[in-house]
Structure 1
Amino acid sequence: MGSSIDAIQVVTQSDSKSPRESSSGKADESPHGEIAIQEVPKTSWKSYIWDTFDKSPEERRFLFKLDAVNVNNAFVSGMKEDLNLYGNELNYMQTCWTVGYVLGEIPSNILLTRIRPSIWIPTCEVLWSVLTILLTQCKTPTQLYVLRFIIGLAESSFYPGMQYIVGSWYRKDELAKRSCLFHAMGNVGSMVSGYLMAGAHNLDGVQGYQGWQWLFITNTIVSLPIAISGFFFLPDVPEITKAWYFTPEEIALSKKRMELEGRANRAPYTKAKLRRIFSSWHIYMLVLLYILFNNGNGGNTQPAFPLWLKSEGYSVKEINLYPTITEVISVITTLIYAWTSDSLFRGARWPAIVFSGVVKIVAYVSLTIWEIPVAWKWTCFFLCGFGSGISGLSFAWAHELCSDDNEERALVVGAMNEAAYIVQAWLPLLIWQQVEAPRYPKGYSTSIALAVLLIGVAMIIRFLHHREIRFKAPAKVAQV
């Protein structure tokens, strides 16, 4: 019976008419101009390069528009907190930002299920931009702390909110690539923000402003126009979108695509819904998965590599240059994980997660031993870059596991990012203490344990997901 379900085709506008079956496996067009979409898209070798090659011209045009909007937003995501860098004496401001960010994430994602994302997210981004330039006028530490807290609240809407939007538009064979590209393009934005930051410091004294004030002015000049553009370009979610760049036929197409994925529409929060969400394993296991991922990459996120290079007597230029190789590896592996997950593994997310965990175990075991050949130590620091690329896959998996309930999906995505930040706020203080650099005996050994747990949790989620599918299959057959 399963094979018969896979062969079903559904028409975007009228389910009462039978679409013509395409021998190429692509969506076909009926005599009445209606686009047929296969429930399980067939793929050829071309889809391993880019998934739209195997789709109909109508879907290709629709996805091109959608991708263009998402890549633009992803690029800007790196031009945010990266510009707000402070000296060690101002660490309290970073703490205030973190507290605001953590407190805002889950409420923000819940609001996205009630308010149009194209209104809520740009509003928060405009607020973020305006408050950033106001930092130039602060005269006391208290003023800085209050502004930083509110800036954190405003910024909390962006990353989990955009991941929620990405998960509202793409099908299983498309989702990991877009989610991972969104994450990777943020890294590109961070690089550009670094160049802007360097240029802002050269403006010290211009028009009576100091370099750090020009830093915030430049920040707002870059971010405010893009934040405002979100009111016109963010597509909301398919069921309520009013995006001017989509035709009525494309909106109908987007709704049918999500229907075929089992992606639920927005619905009210009720006591029964909340009980169902918090009695499900989804929220607990996915949150745990993301905590283990986010806090298990210390060899990459902490200054471990630069501090070792410094202890070995390398120059300042070399200390800043060589660790960027690890960042390049992170971007490359992020894209490899996305492409193989969507195409080679037919939407399975766990293989890349397990692989990254195994590589981290190899690297961190070696670094825990520490007394290893220098060439291998270099290799291990580069291997740390293999662990940073599964953020998008984790969110893609969450979108798929929570497809049946839109509100659960929004809540889980927000909780994943928030819980990871909560742990990240205190764990490095215990295991990545600067007095233990560059050997970090606690940091590397703890990272081994986190990688082992990451693999274990991924396999448990895989088991629970398969069991869930088996329970749902009879109901799906009955509906057909």
Structure 2
Amino acid sequence: MTRDSESLDKDVGSQEKTWKRFVWDTLDKSPKERRFLLKLDLTLLTLGCLGFFTKYLNQANLTNAFVSGMKEDLGMYGNELNYAMTAFTVGYIVGEIPSNILLTRIRPSIYIPSLQVVWTLLTFCAAGVKSTSGLYALRFLIGLAEAGYYPGLQYMIGSWYRKDEMAKRACILNASGSIAMLFSGFLMAGVTGLDGRGGLPGWKWLFIMDGVISFPVIVASYLFLPDLPDTAASRRIFSDEEIELAKRRMALEERRQRAPFSLAKFKKVFTSWHIWLLSFYYIFISGTGGTPIFPQYLKYHTNPKYTVQQINLYPSGVFAMQAFSAIVYAWISDTVLKGRRYPILLFGAVLNLITLGSLAVWYIPENWKWACYYLAGAHVGLSGIVFTWANEICTDDTEERAIVLATMNTMVGVMAAWLPLIVWQQIEAPRYRKGFITATSMGSVSLILIVVIKLLQDKETIR
């Protein structure tokens, strides 16, 4: 080990872990590493969360617009909402894997904000849509533009942060999406006052406001979003010393730098259990497929009859639960469980079985039914832990990491493209008997897959 390496190692964390790490993981690290992580959190994490907020705000706004007048204005009395969501999902499927591969070769500080520009402009266009066919086309293109954002940010988190830091950042990122879903209900309730202003109904103003909120985030991302540690472009934000510190941190995690793509590389990726089991596991924990089951329950409820404002606001508690649980899971996993991911995932799987199983029964006390809708949000909070686990399992091959993370999200999209049309049909709202039974069965399989993946990970570690 060279003298420079020895000096860098002194700056990479402290020798003794203290109680301070339970508050925030940088507090018991060296001053140089603390300054570096603060700068990284203020750029990558903050801008990533703001961008993810605007992305999810756009996704949530479709459902809020639907229950706030779009259904009637566009004549969406059949399964048109399902078709619009499927169009978005198809775009998402097409774009994810190519996007993450491009991200390993194009500067993220240019590529990621450019994706934001495209989906923001398309969101503005949604305010002028006049037919369901136009809506389907827009949702497909928006899905295509948004496809690379989430897996791309998870790849970036895995390229900069260490094992004791990743879960918190990944879950904070997820929480920002849940907060967007929560905020969308309040935004829709707020823009009802603009109904008729400029000749536009309130639901169209919702899309306009979404686009307005996005533009400041785009500008900041072009200016301050970092690239990868091994690219010279990152020196516009970090000093040479901080870049070397970042590289040393990744070397200590055995996280490899980028390498050329080749046939052998693709063969290695697609013949490994990593890509298949992690993708199938993520499919089976995503049983509800983004279906707006709680808003639909409120919309069809007759005693009492809920107002448009109530239908938009009451489901906000689900998203608050998602954000809260994501943060709690991350702190427990990184600190109490010392970086172990599977115990939290097992807990979430069991909780999911209880809530979805209860809704599958359906004829349960009203208070427990509401509790199940809210508690179902705690399972969504696990996504950050799942992607952190995938980052760790694929730590020794950066191209594999990029492809696996994108494939996990893509496979969920493939399932979401057709499963809701069969088991989550809008015409079967609000009971969704087939949907809840299917989701409960998928949750049972996810329990088995957690155990299998953990055993295979341990086997690789022993090797």
TM-score normalised over the length of structure 2: 0.86
Give, in whole Å, the separation in 2 of the partners of 1:344 and 1:222: 37
Cα deviation, residue 331, structure 1: 2.0
Cα deviation, residue 462, structure 1: 0.4
1:276 maps to: 268
Give, in whole Å, the separation in 1 of the partners of 2:263 and 2:91: 27
From 415, 422, 426, the equivalent of 1:423 is 415
**2:159 is the counterpart of 1:159:** no
Structure 1, residues 326-385: CA drift from partner, whole Å, max 9, x if none? 332222221111111111111111111100111122233333344444544444344323
Cα deviation, residue 251, structure 1: 1.2
Higher relative contact order (CA 8 A, sep 6+): 2
1:452 maps to: 444
For residue 421 of structure 1, give the secondary structure of its aligned residue in structure 2: helix
1:74 maps to: 49
Q: Which amino acid aligns with 1:238?
A: P
Cα deviation, residue 141, structure 1: 6.3
Structure 1, residues 301-337: CA drift from partner, whole Å, max 9, x if none? 5227834992553643665555433332222221111
Give, in whole Å, the separation in 1 of the partners of 2:228 and 2:152: 11
How many correspondences in the alignment?
Answer: 444
2:32 maps to: 58
Between 92-101 and 66-75, report the one with greater CA deviation: 92-101
Cα deviation, residue 185, structure 1: 1.2
For residue 27 of structure 2, give the secondary structure of its aligned residue in structure 1: helix
Q: Which has the higher helix share?
A: 2
Q: Which amino acid aligns with 1:189?
A: A
Give, in whole Å, the separation in 2 of the partners of 1:455 and 1:40: 36
Give, in whole Å, the separation in 2 of the partners of 1:149 and 1:462: 36
Give, in whole Å, the separation in 2 of the partners of 1:232 and 1:449: 46
Cα deviation, residue 77, structure 1: 1.7
Cα deviation, residue 48, structure 1: 1.5
From 222, 232, 244, the equivalent of 2:223 is 232
Paired-residue identity, %: 43
Cα deviation, residue 15, structure 1: 2.8
Cα deviation, residue 53, structure 1: 1.3
Between 259-268 and 436-445, report the one with greater CA deviation: 436-445
Cα deviation, residue 125, structure 1: 1.4
**2:251 is the counterpart of 1:251:** no
CA contact (8 A) 2:108 2:227 kept: yes
Larger Rg: 1
Give, in whole Å, the separation in 2 of the partners of 1:249 and 1:422: 44
Structure 1, residues 85-142: CA drift from partner, whole Å, max 9, x if none? 4534264554433322221111100100111111111112112223333445667766
CA contact (8 A) 1:130 1:224 kept: no
Give, in whole Å, the separation in 1 of the partners of 2:347 and 2:249: 31
**2:396 is the counterpart of 1:409:** no
Give, in whole Å, the separation in 1 of the partners of 2:113 and 2:48: 11
1:467 maps to: 459
1:358 maps to: 350
Give, in whole Å, the separation in 2 of the partners of 1:128 and 1:61: 34
Give, in whole Å, the separation in 2 of the partners of 1:386 and 1:93: 26
CA contact (8 A) 1:330 1:388 kept: yes
Cα deviation, residue 73, structure 1: 2.5
Q: Which amino acid aligns with 1:350?
A: Y
User: Structure 1 pair 171/301, CA: closer, same or farther in 2 (3 Å)?
Assistant: farther
Cα deviation, residue 453, structure 1: 1.1
Structure 1, residues 186-219: CA drift from partner, whole Å, max 9, x if none? 2223333444444445445545656555444333
**2:255 is the counterpart of 1:263:** yes
Give ranges in structure 1 of 5+ residues lacking alignment: 1-13, 20-29, 472-480
CA contact (8 A) 1:109 1:410 kept: yes
Structure 1, residues 132-157: CA drift from partner, whole Å, max 9, x if none? 33445667766555444333221212
For residue 285 of structure 2, give the secondary structure of its aligned residue in structure 1: helix
- Report the aligned-residue RMSD: 2.9
Give, in whole Å, the separation in 2 of the partners of 1:252 and 1:108: 28
Give ranges in structure 2 of 5+ residues lacking alignment: none
CA contact (8 A) 2:181 2:316 kept: no
CA contact (8 A) 1:125 1:154 kept: yes
2:279 maps to: 287
User: Structure 1 pair 228/326, CA: closer, same or farther in 2 (3 Å)?
Assistant: closer
Q: How does 1:57-456 map to 2 (within 5 A)?
A: 57-69=31-43, 70-80=45-55, 81=58, 82-84=60-62, 85-86=65-66, 87-88=70-71, 89=76, 91=81, 92-135=83-126, 145-204=136-195, 206=197, 211=202, 213-240=204-231, 241-295=233-287, 302-303=293-294, 306-307=297-298, 310=301, 312-313=303-304, 315-316=306-307, 321-434=313-426, 436-456=428-448
Q: Which amino acid aligns with 1:341?
A: S
For residue 79 of structure 1, give the secondary structure of its aligned residue in structure 2: helix
Q: Which amino acid aligns with 1:333?
A: S
User: Structure 1 pair 198/321, CA: closer, same or farther in 2 (3 Å)?
Assistant: closer
CA contact (8 A) 2:287 2:440 kept: no
Q: Which amino acid aligns with 1:192?
A: F
For residue 418 of structure 1, give the secondary structure of its aligned residue in structure 2: helix
Between 451-460 and 79-88, report the one with greater CA deviation: 79-88
Give, in whole Å, the separation in 2 of the partners of 1:462 and 1:191: 34
Q: Which amino acid aligns with 1:55?
A: K
Structure 1, residues 432-451: CA drift from partner, whole Å, max 9, x if none? 34555444432333222222
Give, in whole Å, the separation in 2 of the partners of 1:304 and 1:207: 28
Q: Which amino acid aligns with 1:15?
A: T
